Structure 1
Amino acid sequence: MSPVTEQWEDVLRTHFALGEELPAVRAAAVFSAESGFFAIAGCDGEDGRRYFRPAAETGEQLPHSGASDQACLEALWTAGEQAGPAPLVRLGEVVWRRESLEQVKDVVTGNELDLVLLREGDRSMWVVRTRQGLCIFALAYGDNEGHVAEARSFALDFDSFLVGQGY
Structure 2
Amino acid sequence: MNDFPLAKAFTLLEPGPVVLVTTSDGHRHNVMTITWTMVMDFTPRFAITTGPWNHSYAALEKSGECVIAVPTVDLIDTVLAVGTCSGADVDKFEKFALTAVAARHVRAPLIQECLANIECKVVDIVQQHNIVVLDGLAAYVDDARKEKRTLHAVGDGRFIVDGRTVNKRELMGNRLPPGV
> Under TM normalisation by the shorter chain, which class is it?
under 0.3
TM-score where L is the length of structure 1: 0.26
Higher relative contact order (CA 8 A, sep 6+): 2
Higher share of residues assigned helix? 1
